[in-house]
Chains A and B, each alone.
Chain A
Amino acid sequence: MKGEAGMECTLNVNGRTHTLLVRPDETLLDALRDRLHLTGTKEGCGEGDCGACTLQVDGRAVNACLLLAADAEGRDIRTVEGLVQDGDLNPVQEAFVDSGGIQCGFCIPGMIMSADALLRSNPDPSDQEIQEALAGNLCRCTGYIKIFQSVRAAAEAMAGSK
């Protein structure tokens, strides 16, 4: 948690600019959760091994626990909260709900951020591409089967709405 904060930094999160004081070695994960109260991004290991803290920086999925907050200045940061528009889930979130991709839900924000990043760059991924894109996101509940189905369903929904 917080601790002594000495550095001012300006973060662009979900399209909004926040100026905050952080510790020099404070991770983006801690800054988002403790200072900006964006707790949708989860900590599962703090070592980059589980992917629960995955968010998007400049459109790519990255681990928030491996970035220093002050070093993320100037980058476009998107968290799971930023996918929701006017209270509506985005198609990836919707697909995870409807396809049974969610059980305990703790890995889900990170999983959705990875899936969303995949579908933005590759709207029609193969099964193997889906599996590889989610390789950094551990899930212990679902065995991933319904998560793969969710991503496929999201791809189809997004293709259909175009």
Chain B
Amino acid sequence: MVQASIGTRVPRLDGREKAMGASQYLADLKLPGMTQVRFVKSPLAHARIKSIDTSAAEALPGVAGVVTHADVPDTRVGEVVMDQRLFAKEKVRYVGDIVAAVAAEDLETAKRAVELVQVEYEELPAVVSAEQAMDPGTPVLHEEYPSYEVIPPAADAHKMMTDHNLCWKGMVKKGDPDKGFDEADEIIEDTFDIPAVQGSPIETHGVVAAPSQGGGGVTIWTSTQVPFGVREVTAHGLHIPISKVRVIAPTVGGGFGSKCQVWVEPMVAALALKSNRPVRYVMTREEEFEITQPRHPMTIHVRSGVKNTGEIVARQIRIIMNTGHSVMLAPIMVSLVTNAAGAPYNIPNLLIETVAVFTNLPSFSLVRGPGGPQAAFAVESHTDRLADVIGMDRLEMRMKNCVNPGDLGPTGQELGGVGLKEGLQKVKESIGWADDRPEGRGVGVAVGWYATLIGMGSSATIKMNEDSTVSLITGFVDHGTGNVHGGLPIFISNELGIDVDKINISSGDTETGPWDYGTVGSRSTYNHVRAVGAAIEELKREIRKRGAGMLEADPDEVEFEEGKVFVRSAPDKAIPLGLLCATAGKPGSQGPMMASGSFNGPPWPPGPDVEVALAIPSFGQPAFVAQAAEVEVDQETGNVKVLKIASACDAGFAINPIGVEGQIEGGTIQSLGMGLTEQMFFDDKGHLLNPSFLDYKVPLAPDIPEFDTIVVESQSDQGAMGTKGIGEAPVVATAAAIASAVSAATGATFDRIPLTPEYVLSRIEEAAATV
């Protein structure tokens, strides 16, 4: 492998060991004396716990320990609002709520022990829909919600969450919507429903925990995107000093946001501490579906005023999120979906209000592009209707109203690089927008954005080794996204003039790696490049300093490239960089050179003349997507076949095009799943009816249409080298584009996804009946 320059296609550094089956994922870890963990889970969605008897389980031979709320501090944990018991105490609030954990010598014994734990419940009515939750006649899920502890920045807002079963709310208002509607020629109003869907990483969640040697602490290996978050919540929940909790993310097999919540780790750690043994918990696929945090189901009302010329002059959006039983990251989620729903139009008069309500379903939380696909399906389907009503081409409607560089986003932030219209133009050409098509075929387009999460820090250490290799040591996690193994090696190689295969990476360990907020919110490349860049600047100074000493020159005269250091006037007398670190036989040698750096995005406050009531009021520059689909619809069965997708994403700048394309392709296909096949079915008692890959249908290889991956590079004025975070934007608009294409092919309109054959046929028949 050679020295890589920025923008070249370099395979990810960990690809080789992954292809060999040699990478160590969580389930591959084995510790001596390790026991197996199973949870005792509530079969009811809502119930009071009258008693818990673990004696029979504890007496079973082979059981190493049983833990309930009685074994952990009487406290609540959370990342914003402290609302979660580690183990359910007073009540259970969803099917699967964890009441106890059992560790045993083997899985079979653990399963038997789980059956021996006696829990007596008093069943309460289950609240499963948002509509039910907001009805004052239904039970309150969190009776003591106002008294829960809250992190200080959110405390004032939390005091306002007093409505029945209200978890969180937020809003933005720009211009004068009432006045805008008065100016409109047509006013259209629609309501859309989007079901819960799952991130569904192929690796399920898992945790291994072991008591620290010497006692008093715990080491946790976990399949997580946020090791430092795990450390913090575990320390808080178990009343252990944070420095005594070490969290290590091994190779992580996908997350899509589902691994950025912290809840099982402290429970498993409690069991390790109580049994004083290493313990291992690996979720079954069924549990992955039942107890992890899926994407929010939402009902979205959209009302717009449009001029006959196509200009959208006013828009009002109300989003109701079913947030499940717990707060988790709902305050952040409300901010994200509110911002996403304002995308990506320049509408002078805009009001977006979002509420999240508690129900007795699993906690819904952040899944790749949180709120983005839901909002885009609603806003884009509605925008199609606007175009149809005034007789304008649907794509032209976007061209007319989409944001341009310098426009203001919904929170009044000025947009820098905007590669949206370029993307639209490219997908228009790729999909053959204006081509004649046979009956039953149609094309659709949808646009959207997703903003980088800013305001949380990242740090990294760079080490130059004796053999002229470089080690990156950091708390970053790369759960497949390529932020660490795909993009950073090119950057480091380019900056230090060393080959990519001379770079070693040690990541995801809270003890050895400097702090990072986590691989979430499309923030990683944006932040990590800056943090690593700062460390590299420091390292370069040290190289020059040591090089000057060894080469007997002025530091300003010292240069280095291709792994060698030399004096500018005498490049022929270059020595390997590693010699600066060599220790053997060198009295006074300082060993490897190390340098650290950090970055935290500058605050980028909301603009003037907007009202913003959000937990996160400011976002990084969004990445834009324009996605188009061509479909063929079987008019008798309603079956939709996607023939082609063109997916354009404005990445600002692509450091490693392989990685950027991979994000676009993977995100787009997840959205295709949302559009056509994926949904979680809950019954009215809160039971999930399809907890398997057989009935929860993620797209398969033969479902993939012809695909055109289009990278647009608008050069963000914010991210390092013009980059934008693009982990999430590609997932935003494809479901909407497919719905639009099916609408074009059939003449029907759609107010929910997925477009199952049965639903499509019913809408075709309704459309035919109204003609």
Contacts and interface: CB of A to CB of B under 8 A. Distances in A.
Contacts of A96: 15, 19
Interface string B557-597: 00000000000000000000000000000000000000000
A102 B202 contact: no
Most interface-central of A105, A109, A143 (chain B CB within 10 A)? A143
Given A47-B694, A105-B251, A97 B19 contact: yes
A109 to B, nearest CB: 4
Interface in A9-51: 33, 37-47, 49-50
A79 B21 contact: yes
B400 interface: no
Nearest to B254: A104
Given A47-B285, A104-B201, A104-B254, A93 B19 contact: yes
Contacts of A80: 19-21
Contacts of B668: 143
- If over half of B's interface residues share one DSSP class (helix, strand or loop), that class is named, otherwise mixed; here it is loop
B489 to A, nearest CB: 14
A145 B707 contact: yes
Interface string A80-99: 11011000010001101110
A142 interface: yes
Contacts of B255: 104
Nearest to B672: A143
A140 B665 contact: no
Interface string A123-162: 0000010111111011111111111100000000000000
Interface string B299-341: 0000000000000000000000000000000000000000000
Given A1-B107, A89-B16, A106-B253, A52 B694 contact: no
A105 B106 contact: no
A117 interface: no
Contacts of A84: 20
A45 B12 CA distance: 26
Counting chain A CB atoms within 10 Å of each CB, which of B36, B254, B481, B658 scores highest? Answer: B254
B769 interface: no
A62 interface: no
A146 B20 contact: no
Interface string B10-52: 0110111011111111011010000010000000000000000
A103 interface: yes
A100 interface: yes
A102 B481 CA distance: 10
B135 interface: no
A138 B202 contact: yes
Contact of B200 (A98, A100, A140): A140
Contacts of A2: 106
B19 A112 contact: yes
A143 B107 contact: no
B202 A50 contact: yes
Interface residues on A, range: 35 or more
A140 B710 CA distance: 20
A144 B669 contact: yes
B202 A106 contact: yes
Interface stretch (B409-417, B635-643, B695-703): B695-703
A33 to B, nearest CB: 8
A102 B485 CA distance: 11
B15, B203, B666 interface centre (most CB from chain A within 10 Å): B15
B709 interface: yes
A81 B20 contact: yes
What is the interface of chain A mostly: helix, strand, loop, or mixed? loop
Contacts of B253: 42, 104-106
B100 to A, nearest CB: 20
Nearest to B658: A100
A3 interface: yes
A92 B709 CA distance: 23
- Report which residue of B9, B22, B481 has the largest number of chain A beta carbons within 10 angstroms of its beta carbon: B22
B701 A102 contact: no
A102 B10 CA distance: 12
Contacts of A137: 701
Nearest to A87: B20
B709 A145 contact: yes
Nearest to B282: A43
A78 to B, nearest CB: 12
A137 B252 CA distance: 18
A128 B706 CA distance: 11
B665 A142 contact: yes
Nearest to A111: B701
Contact of B21 (A3, A103, A109): A109
Contacts of A64: none
B662 A50 contact: no
Nearest to A105: B18
A81 B700 contact: no
A78 B14 CA distance: 23
A152 B22 CA distance: 24
Contacts of B15: 96-97, 102, 105
A93 B666 CA distance: 20
A97 B500 CA distance: 15
A107 interface: yes
Given A97-B19, A104-B253, A146 B693 contact: no
A140 B201 contact: yes
17 contacts: A39-B24, A42-B202, A46-B284, A47-B692, A50-B285, A50-B693, A81-B21, A89-B16, A89-B20, A100-B661, A106-B201, A108-B18, A134-B701, A135-B701, A138-B698, A139-B202, A141-B666
Closest 7 CB pairs of A and B: A40-B21, A104-B480, A106-B253, A143-B669, A105-B18, A49-B693, A80-B21
Interface of A: 1-4, 33, 37-47, 49-50, 52, 79-81, 83-84, 89, 93-94, 96-98, 100, 102-109, 112, 128, 130-135, 137-148
Interface of B: 9, 11-12, 14-16, 18-25, 27-28, 30, 36, 106-109, 199-204, 251-256, 280, 284-285, 479-482, 658-659, 661-662, 665-670, 692-694, 698-702, 704, 707, 709
